[in-house]
Structure 1
Amino acid sequence: MSTAHQDPPVSGGLQVVARSAQILRMFDSERTEVRINDVAEELAIGRTSAHRYLQSLASEGFLQRINDSDYQLGPLIVGLAASMVGGPALLDIASPELERLAAALGQTAVLGIWSGSSAVAVACKEPPGKSVNMTVRIGAPLGPTSAQGMAFLAWGKPAAREKSLSRLNVDRDTIQAQLNSALANGYTASTAVIDGVEALAAPIFDSSEQMAGTLALVAPTGVLDSTPGSPHIKELLATAANLSTALGSTKAS
């Protein structure tokens, strides 16, 4: 006999808020993704209604759609978590360094963290005195082919790297060559995210020598010099090393 759930009548905005909260509470350190069928079962609603809730939460940045059925926490939640729970020290320490880096090189500096499945921008500083600047929206997801995403693939946890790579429709040998280059040089470079935009990124480590975030420069294509030893690279690596040292890492010592 069928046990399909029938949707109860909607009682207004409070029910929407309550159900959205129920969906968000489904996530924890062990459960980083949910499926439409999971939401329908746990909330005792129909699959169509579950899909609508997930789509609405994704459209506002609370969730991020992975494929037709799976969702993960979105950039808005991750950004808030970084600033309110997990990253006050990093954000506080990084803010003046981002300002200094942006002013020294005349380009936008961005701080990124790992959301569990992708990099996310949590702070952005633009250089002063310029009428036109590049900017990165706080909470914006930074895909695995971005400079920040590549940095997390290179220096992050192997399990997260394999999970991300398994979803990429790219040649694994090409990606591995890029990761090897990053590990050898200490930074990543990418022009793969938005046409006309390039970025350089370096890893930031904490006292446990785990990757705490990324420091990146973002500029129009052709502006940044990604050659090892260039002024852009030297300043980026030095600033990332300063941040790592401030967080208790000895990697830069």
Structure 2
Amino acid sequence: MADAGSSEPRAAGEIQAVDRAAQILRLFGPERPRLTAAEAAELLQLNRTTTYRYCVSLVAAGLLERGGESGTFVPGALLVQLGAFAIGRRQVVDLASAHMRSLSVDTGLTSVLSLWGSMGPVVSRVEEESARSVVVTVRVGTQLSLASAQAKIFLAHQSDRDRAERLLAVLPDELRAEVGREIRELGAPDDIAVGIDGLGIHAIAAPVFDEYSVCASLALIGTNDMLPFDVNTEIAARLREAASALSREMGSAIPTAD
């Protein structure tokens, strides 16, 4: 038995809090993509007020987000970022490997697959063209800028336009206006986004869809000499083909390039 000075009661409380949070997160799935605190309380047989406080805390932590319907909660983007180190288990990352290797060989460029994290795209797989003497690359786990080509792809296909605007609010006014304009022009599933980091590195990105919505961004990166800042080149066409093929493997019914 713990003595009066023991910290066990606090430790036990913390473990219970984590367990309760996990129980709430486990309620979400394909059959239940969103729910209210009241529904969660009923399913878990918990106090409604307590359950609501847990949901609000999970929103603050980025593990949940407010849903589009009043009073609802949906899984948060931070869940993706927290799994960055184990991201190889994600189906799209596994399926992308062969497409990315072929894409890099065909174009002589580095291919990058990104998933959406809490505040932007997170690099989840990288394939380099080893035959080149100079290789432009990026580390897995890197969170990319909201002005990157990959971010523009996700934001263009973001169903919650208010959330997209809130995210872009962190950018300087002039850059936010420019990115916003580019995003509005990327409505079609075959549209390619372009980006430049200011250091002479170019990127072009295309969306990858699963059966629900955009699930990843497939990009090519290189120097301005290696990668033209143009979405109408053979390189861009090859990127479209790879993203389209991967989308089909992910079960997408969205018409994309063949």
Question: 2:106 aligned to 91, 104, 107, which one?
Answer: 104
Deviations 1:223-251 (A, max 9, x none): 21232321111001111011111111121
Residue-pair matches, total? 196
| 3-state SS, counterpart of residue 211 of structure 2 | coil
Between 1:162-171 and 1:197-206, the stretch displaced more is 162-171
CA positional deviation for 1:199? 0.6
Question: 2:207 aligned to 186, 203, 207, which one?
Answer: 203
Deviations 1:37-86 (A, max 9, x none): xxxxxxxxxxxxxxxxxxxxxxxxxxxxxxxxxxx9598634135334xx
Structure 2: tracts of 5 or more residues without a match: 6-10, 29-54, 63-76
Question: 1:232 aligned to 218, 235, 247, which one?
Answer: 235
In structure 2, the partner of 1:80 is: 85
Matches within 5 A, 1:57-96: 73=78, 77-84=82-89, 87=90, 89-96=91-98
CA distance in 2, matches of 1:177, 1:195: 23
Question: 2:164 aligned to 156, 161, 164, which one?
Answer: 161
In structure 2, the partner of 1:152 is: 154
Identity %: 25
Matches within 5 A, 1:106-145: 106-145=108-147
CA distance in 2, matches of 1:196, 1:249: 34
Preserved CA contact (<8 Å) 1:207 1:250: yes
Residue type of the alignment partner of 1:178: E
Question: Structure 1 residue runs of 4+, over 4 Å off?
Answer: 25-30, 72-76
Deviations 1:111-144 (A, max 9, x none): 0000132100000000131232111100000111
In structure 2, the partner of 1:181 is: 185
Structure 1: tracts of 5 or more residues without a match: 1-7, 9-14, 36-71
| 3-state SS, counterpart of residue 141 of structure 1 | coil
CA distance in 1, matches of 2:124, 2:232: 27
In structure 2, the partner of 1:243 is: 246
Matches within 5 A, 1:47-66: none
Preserved CA contact (<8 Å) 1:75 1:141: no
**Structure 1 length-normalised TM:** 0.67
Preserved CA contact (<8 Å) 2:209 2:250: yes
Preserved CA contact (<8 Å) 2:121 2:150: yes
